[in-house]
Structure 1
Amino acid sequence: MDIFNTYTLINEHTGDLAFRIWDFEDNNEFCKVKRLNHYSLIWIKKGSGTATIDLSEHDFSHSTMFALTPYQPFKFSEKEQLEGVVLNFHPDFFCIHKHQDQVACNGVLFNNIYTPPMQYIDDNTKSEFEMLISNMRTGIQNVGLAQYDLLVSYLKVFLITASRSKAKQHPEELEAVYDNEPFILQKLKNLIEANFKTKHSASEYAELLNITPKALAKITKNHFNKTMTNLISERIIIEAKRELYLTDKSVKEIAFNLGYEDEHYFSRFFKNNADISPSVYRETVGFARAVS
């Protein structure tokens, strides 16, 4: 049996998954591409393999945790037998965008276009995770007053602990191809953040940085293993998802705010990058579902 010790909380209004903890002891659940409509924290305790996430491949070994957003495509290819634990939670249960000030995991654990969605779990963090997971399992079993608040409080601590752990692992100094490349990388991040709604081409950012498009392509490939187009597209999709999560704005209005005058072109762009249409995404994880 590949799945055991499963603890699940169901949304009583929709009948769908709200929160779940489950253990696994092989790769049967991850050997084919998954696109789940909830957040997933997958902690590989034993084994090794290669993770394919958003078309990028990442080798991993034991004591690795992956943080995946709704509909983010992923699969694992096993080299040594995998064992671990998974936390799943739906945005209806806990929305990282709404609680960013409390948890600050958005942009660290999730939705970080510059670093892989994975981290090493050291012994100290492992002990904290084990205690929190045990408390969550107990909380799911004990149905009663304030069950939701109790489970959310444990999840918040788990996310904060994971975010702090990953932040510590992020290298402070980047290996440079050019002497001033670390400065260029930081400036590029700032420029994408300031201009992704209006500037959608690599050449525009190369011009802002006063370097050639070829040089910029080399930098993004070396440090992010992505093209400049990938970085821009991923940042736009993150913002679009946030709007679909939290607001009742029409897809046309969201598209316009992100620099797309043609709603249908934007919808195709979203589906090509998120593997699902904006309307279906909203219906399954966003504002429309939350208020229904």
Structure 2
Amino acid sequence: MIQLEPISGVFKKERALQAAYPMRVLIVKEASGLLCMNAGDHRLLNHRIFFIPEEGLVRLEGEIKSGYWLSFSNSLYAEFLLQHLDPLAKNLFLNLSFRDLENESAQTYNLINQLKKDIEAQKDLPFLAQYISLFLGFTSGLDGYLAAWTLDELQQVLRFRAILEQFYKRERAIQFYAEGMGISTGRLNSFLGKVLGKSLSSLIKDRIMREAEELLLHSDNSVDEIAQILGFEQTSSFITTFRRYKGISVNQFSHLG
């Protein structure tokens, strides 16, 4: 599902880089030369990150003194798209793109080093999915506010999101999430307000409604079935909640796709 390895050495473009999974990211810390694909060549510069589309071989011509080669599955990328509705998120891997990291570079390398440790520790998939989502949001510039967070805050958010992702359909009590985080309910409330700017109930509702949108547009489930999947005791409650949240009815939204 995910592979991350340091990359360094002198490269010739006669030999393509191999990746275990289709979604590919090259994080350059120090390098010179070119990244070559059929669509064109791009310079390897210090603190540059490349988001590489599924199609096409990646070849390097030059030297990488320090960097990382990351690849991951489409299912992990799907979590990023669920959390980022901006069209730019969908286009991130459509064509080869890159971004030069400036103030974000130190935080990026901290995130990568921690991700490597979490992979080696065999953290569960929900946690790694949240990590990839956060990492892509940060490095692509879609979530610029993350630059203000400390590494400890990033780790806490990851832990919270992983728990939320696993239990949002059936657990609503803050006590449950606080116990999962290993902190008091008061501290969790304070943390969510400070870092995410929302209450637990708002975050749960946001996640439920994102899932509702996905199911309404891309599944064959009936409205009754979707309400049950999302933990609503009555379909009418789901329909009312959805309309208040989206401003349109379930039926109107279903026909948008």
Q: Normalising TM by the smaller chain, what interval? A: 0.3 to 0.5
More helix by share: 2
| Normalised TM-score (structure 2) | 0.48
| Normalised TM-score (structure 1) | 0.42
